[in-house]
Each structure stands twice: as C-alpha cells, then as structure tokens.
Amino acid sequence: MSPMRTEAEEEGKLYRSISEVSEMLGVKAHVLRYWETQFGMLRPRKNRAGNRMYRPEELRTLQRIKELLYERRFTIAGARRKLLDEQKGDGEGQPEIAFADADRKAALTEIKSELKSILAKLKRERG
C-alpha cells in the first residue's frame, strides 16, 4: 500500500472533527462511530467536550477501511483481518475470494436448494 497524503496532512491540520472526516470520506458520522467499535486500531482522541478528533494516521486507516468495505466488498471481519495482517507486515493472509453479485446469488440459490433436499430427506427418514 503506497503512503497516501490526506487533506489534513496537506493543510497541516493535526486533528479533524468527526463531521469533517465524515464529509471527507463521504460516509455518515454514525458509520464512523460504528467502525470504531469494530476496528480496535481506531481510537480517536476526544477533546475536553468529548468530541472525537481524528489524526492523519486515523484518516488513512478510515480510508483503507472504506476501500475494503465499499470497493473491495470485504465483510467487517474480513476487513479487520486484512488490516491486522497489514499491520503485522504479513502480506500472506488468507487468499481473497471475490464473488460478483450474480455469482453470489447463484451460489446462495444452489445452497438453498441443497438444504431443502436434505430437509426433505430427513423428513422422509423420520416419517
């Protein structure tokens, strides 16, 4: 991952409020607060009033989380594992498996069909 310069770094700002970060990333503030509960590496400092203040390194982490979740379609757990692997410097995590929406729907339909046939078989055996 190449180092990205955030707007905060370019403007020399050390801290940004949640509303600024929300606007920069194009996600709602409640999404940022939720990500904070799911990704342990996100721990923005709070000012005297209790408002979250994000540093440039947290902005980079948030940008990466957004990329993994929205562009690369990772689950929360998958994105968390990927970020932890990247922090460890372990480029060898689990292989990424990407499914297009159509492939995902076809796989789910097939699984549903198999489960229905297993259920029918179990009902016959009980019967």
pLDDT tens digits, residue range 13-39? 889 999 999 999 999 999 999 999 999
Distance from the Cα of residue 54 to its chain's centroid: 18
Tell me if 97 sits within 8 A of 103, measured CB to CB: no
Q: Quote the crossing angle between the two packed helices 56-66 and 18-25, to the nearest 10°.
A: 40
Give the model confidence (pLDDT) of 61-107 as tens digits: 999 999 999 999 999 999 999 999 988 875 554 555 555 556 677 77
- pTM of structure: 0.61
